[in-house]
Chain A
């Protein structure tokens, strides 16, 4: 429907009509001949035609003889006329061309003129008169008077604004070198008003041979519209087209869209014509939704009744499509799609797998570029209706889905959202799975990423062959296949099995039992997790480290910070028979100290867990004399109430150990303040000691509480604890929401050992190894470093008092042997015993297939030097699908012999004379120790040289005890037998050499090696 004109428009239109109606038409007897066109720019610069010209027309219905007439020209201001004499007869409707002066410009000759003159006319302003005689006029300006009204004058045209004489209200619009002034109606319109009858336009010289233009035949010319037939656009890209209309005998004054309104299609810039036959111009604008529209535009003139013309434009708005998009184009050689946010259509693929909210499809016509995945996830949000094997065409919007939100460290998954899915065919063979390993693509085995400086999505280079994170990204959504896979971690509670291909042929440092070691520089990108998410509720079969899977296929996915292969069928696990380790039992003089994270142990765990752990302690750990426990929960576990006491938990464990044939342990623990030590909410996990009272004794020093800070006390040169058991700096912010270290004093074989059991801040919150930020930020490390510093300072406060104090630091330190936190503890004079193991045995925990060390036992310098520590990580949990805890326990055996006994009274000592070796400058001799008693003297035998002369040194001493050197001999000495030991003295001043002899059975305490 056409929109009504506005009231103002009606007023304007009526005014124009009234003006023209009141203008009288000029008609004289010979007035049917009129000047129809004037062009003075011929031959000028920019002109097309070489000559000026004047064109006449016979507007009447009878022939007119021009012989004896003349056309005359005067400049704009003057009354001096030049004339060209005419001859001939002009038929009705016939044109008559009079050529004038030629110029240097222009390239085109005029059509054959009827008369050739030589008048040089102005291109912009002047006066032309058609006179019915051959006498030059003398009128035409203010001085000479107007020519209008002259009896000989047939027609008169003043052109250009400066013309001094004209018909009607004014001169014509100004012509130029490239325009003439043309009388409207192709020369027919003559209202004796030069200003209204003429318009400037391209020169169009017509001569007598031109088609006749019978003026009287045209009575009501139609409005003529000019529009494009079609107009094409794309959603989101605005287009426009100029439309126009003219009326040969009227003025087109308005335009409007008369078809149904379409959002985004409109007219603008409507510029009405101002003259008869002038053009109305407007712009049709299109920025609409996709579709095909028939747009009708009505143009109207100023006639009463008005005339109109309608044009129809076929507008087509196409969707913003990426034509013929392939999956690889969407995936791109990058971590995020180059088409993210764009609409894609006709994306072809074969459905390879289904999930509850979408499906995977893969291009059956892959290219040769390994960097761009051929597979993708189509997010349907509800259960997809397609079937595996369907060939589909998908349209939708490319998106990157990042689990955990925009700030998450997870990589995103490229997917097609809001999909429109067309199933082309069903039952198609699936695209071939990419072999991972020998014969296919071999994953990098050391480097996860070596070039990003933050997010791999926005920095670094996408290296699909050398960087592990890029390698797996290039396979996102694709089918992959592994041959002879080997499990490097057990089946987890989440239904995941970490594997490497080809029985580990390309894998990095393998653990001694078939796993794969994570090291400071090797995050094991060759490893990937099998996941049962796509076969749920089927759960992946149980696998232990070293078990084999002959062949497995699936689709590469990413979740929880790492890449996974979603298997499409249950896997067949071939057992490798991995057995739980059994450590060596301690002997009489070995103090065995174990550490075990029992993973949130509380009575509600039930007898099975308690009995399992008890059996492990007895059978596998061989009942260590001291056990540092971590993750002991209170008596009602995760029930979040005020209970913090763990006596029931510990006693239940002790009873289970006893029932399993082990010793009846005692325990020491300090209950924490409720809900202040982190871990499972309500569980109040803490560290604690079990000890076998038949082998060791605990030195209790009263006063230990949850908030009492322990300190080192100097007791006559020996270090002891202010309270035992006691917590180290428990109120320090470093231990907020974390476990407080517990220290206690133990006695074994007459020797004291201070043990500190720890459970440092967990690694939760660290960015994942396969996360988007590389290298990953280990935020949890900050608190661990603070905790390690506190423990290290405490150790140093002990060694400052007694350099040879026996200190053992043990527990779940939640970090690696090469980490900053462990380095801090080691720098306090402690040796991390895990570093005494071969590199492929340094693990107590398997995280997503990475074998690594979180649990440690560190010993002080004296123990390291004298106690011959034998350290063992007892692999009974971390590598097994069925595990009592996620940690393996560890045990160290420390040889601590009883203190030496003075047996001087039971021996006879004989010293042979000394001989000075001239080469070595040493006095050498021997000393003989004869057992004069009736019982054997147990070794080792310490022969001490007391009161040795000043200036004399025993150069072959085994050590120094109480300021006197001694030599250690091997015992025992049977009754009547003699032990002979060599002596070597340095006596540079040749002073009288003398000393007293003391003989001891056993080991001095402490045994300090003499400086070398």
Chain B
């Protein structure tokens, strides 16, 4: 199942809405809460792979911060890191798209679910480019066979940072015979709205409500 949760227009609206709390458009961030249903994988020893790679290198600068990682599974805590990645998944990870491969790979014994907050920021928001940078989440078993994905890239989820916004691609397979959604991605509330952006916030909020209403 491929479910495009948010397209460019929606992302732009979200950017506007979130920007109300960031103080300015240039300083805006885009955050999402991501929950992954791994109930069909519970107990399986595998790996979590997070990448933040540009389409071409060099690319318009962008950062992604993964925080608030919560799970009833078990992280191995011995990650393999490529490129510009700082921190650890247990606390906070900061990715930059400064090299071709920016990746964090850690062993993981799956529980029923895990979740995290991801926040995107950087020049890509103010210098729109048609060449994207993608944050991807992939699950593997110990032999690197992809788990829970339909995508050729093997990722369950990607956020394409393109043309000044974010496009979310859900390429995950459903869970179990009940065909339960594997992913739940929701916009995360911005913590510090910017006064200069009130009007934009209002516009974006109205638009988002309309969009979500249509989706429902």
Which A residues are within 8 Å of any B CB, using their own CB?
908-919, 923-925, 982, 984, 987, 990-995
Contacts and interface: CB of A to CB of B under 8 A. Distances in A.
Nearest to B97: A913
The 6 closest A-B pairs by CB, nearest first: A913-B134, A911-B55, A915-B153, A992-B57, A910-B130, A918-B144
B140 interface: yes
Contacts of B103: 916
Nearest to B54: A913
A994 B56 contact: yes
A13 to B, nearest CB: 137
A990 B131 contact: no
12 contacts: A911-B55, A911-B56, A911-B132, A914-B54, A914-B55, A915-B53, A915-B154, A925-B55, A984-B152, A991-B100, A993-B56, A994-B58
Contacts of B99: 990, 992
Nearest to A910: B130
A915 B134 CA distance: 8
A982 B151 CA distance: 11
Interface in B149-190: 151-155, 158, 160-163
A913 B55 contact: yes
B100 A993 contact: yes
A918 B152 CA distance: 11
Contact of B57 (A909, A912, A916, A994): A994
Contacts of B140: 918-919
B132 A910 contact: yes
Contact of A913 (B145, B146, B151, B161): B161
B187 to A, nearest CB: 20
A987 B56 CA distance: 12
A915 B154 CA distance: 8
A984 B55 CA distance: 12
A947 to B, nearest CB: 11
B153 A918 contact: no
Contact of A915 (B58, B131, B158): B158
A993 B152 CA distance: 19
Contact of B101 (A912, A924, A990): A990
Which residue, A911, A916, A982, has most C-beta atoms of chain B within 10 A?
A916
Contacts of B94: none
A292 to B, nearest CB: 113
B51 interface: yes
Contacts of B101: 916, 923, 987, 990
B55 A992 contact: no
Contacts of B97: 913
A913 B160 contact: yes
Interface string B98-132: 01110101000000000000000000000000111
Contacts of B100: 914, 923, 987, 990-993
A908 B99 CA distance: 25
Given A913-B97, A915-B158, A924-B152, 7 more contacts: A911-B56, A913-B133, A913-B161, A915-B51, A915-B136, A918-B105, A918-B140
Contacts of A992: 57-58, 99-100
Given A919-B146, A925-B134, A990-B101, A913 B152 contact: no
Nearest to B47: A918
Contacts of A915: 51, 53, 134, 136, 138, 151, 153-155, 158
Given A908-B130, A990-B82, A992-B99, A917 B154 contact: yes
Nearest to A924: B153
B130 A913 contact: no
Nearest to A930: B130
A628 B14 CA distance: 70
A897 to B, nearest CB: 29
Contacts of A993: 56-57, 100
A995 B138 contact: no
Given A912-B55, A923-B53, A993-B57, A917 B132 contact: no
Which residue, A908, A990, A995, has most C-beta atoms of chain B within 10 A?
A990
Given A990-B100, A990-B101, A912 B132 contact: yes
Contacts of A923: 53, 100-101
Interface in B4-57: 47, 49, 51, 53-57
Contacts of A990: 82, 99-101
A280 to B, nearest CB: 127
A918 B49 contact: yes
Nearest to B167: A912
B134 A914 contact: yes
Given A912-B134, A913-B132, A992-B100, A919 B53 contact: no
A917 B155 CA distance: 8
Contacts of A994: 56-58
B83 to A, nearest CB: 8
Given A990-B82, A990-B100, A994-B57, A916 B130 contact: no
A907 to B, nearest CB: 11
Nearest to A991: B100
Contacts of B161: 913
B4 to A, nearest CB: 13
Which residue, A910, A918, A923, has most C-beta atoms of chain B within 10 A?
A918
A782 to B, nearest CB: 60
A954 to B, nearest CB: 13
Contacts of A914: 53-55, 100, 134
A516 to B, nearest CB: 54
B132 A982 contact: no
Nearest to A928: B130
A184 B162 CA distance: 158
Contacts of B57: 992-994
Nearest to B152: A924
B47 to A, nearest CB: 8
A909 B131 CA distance: 8
Contacts of A984: 152
Given A918-B140, A987-B100, A912 B51 contact: no
B161 to A, nearest CB: 7
Nearest to A992: B57
Contacts of A982: 152
Contacts of B163: 910
Nearest to A921: B144
Interface in B46-105: 47, 49, 51, 53-58, 82, 97, 99-101, 103, 105
Which residue, A911, A913, A984, has most C-beta atoms of chain B within 10 A?
A913
A519 B160 CA distance: 64
A991 B100 CA distance: 7
